[in-house]
Amino acid sequence: MPALIGVPILALALIFQSAVLSHMRLLQGSVDLVLVVVVSWIMNERVKAVWEWALIAGILVGFVSQIPMWGYVLGYAIIAFMGSLLKRRIWRAPLLALFTVVFLGTVVIQGLSFVLLRLLGTEIDPIQAFNLVLLPGLLLNLVLAIPVQGLINEVAAWLYPEEFEG
């Protein structure tokens, strides 16, 4: 059930990202709402369906992007691995872990996109890509991480109710 509920949640996040948030730019960087939703899901302590959400996100984002789908599936798999590892290691500071994985996840996705676009023949200046796309996108993702984490915590609480200890 938690893996299946990921499809509509991630699809809605992708639609909102494509229709609304893509027009709200800081320099040339924009918010990656799907990344922030996946990271927030991964970093929730109740959640067990981590890899399924990463795979769903990679497939969905791959459908609407000109970058090959396997690039996004690989990127989100790396993010799921990093998030799972950090969740086990830094469990006492979940906000620090959330910001760390959003930061690293943004760098991974943007870095893979840059490399794949270069391999596909697109001429991109690495310094301009860093200054105009990566850094602003990173800032926007970090700002969005807190409200998205609150919403995802509510969804996780609904899907994984706490057991009453009496």
Backbone φ, ψ for residue 101 (5° rounding): -70, -35
**How confident is the model at residue 1, as a pLDDT?**
64
**How confident is the model at residue 2, as a pLDDT?**
65
Alpha carbon dihedral 30, 34, 37, 42, in 10-degree steps, equals -120
**How confident is the model at residue 91, as a pLDDT?**
63
Handedness of CA 144, 23, 42, 165 (dihedral sign): positive
CB atoms within 10 A of CB 155: 18
**How confident is the model at residue 164, as a pLDDT?**
47
**How confident is the model at residue 146, as a pLDDT?**
92
Backbone φ, ψ for residue 142 (5° rounding): -65, -35
Q: Write out pLDDT tens, residues 130-154.
A: 888 899 999 999 999 999 999 988 8
Furthest C-alpha separation in the chain: 63
Strands annotated E in the chain: none
List the chain residues with pLDDT less than 70.
Answer: 1-2, 90-92, 163-166
Rounded (5°) CA angle 117-14-147? 115
Q: To 10 degrees, what angle do helices 69-89 and 50-64 make?
A: 150
CA 87 to chain centre: 15
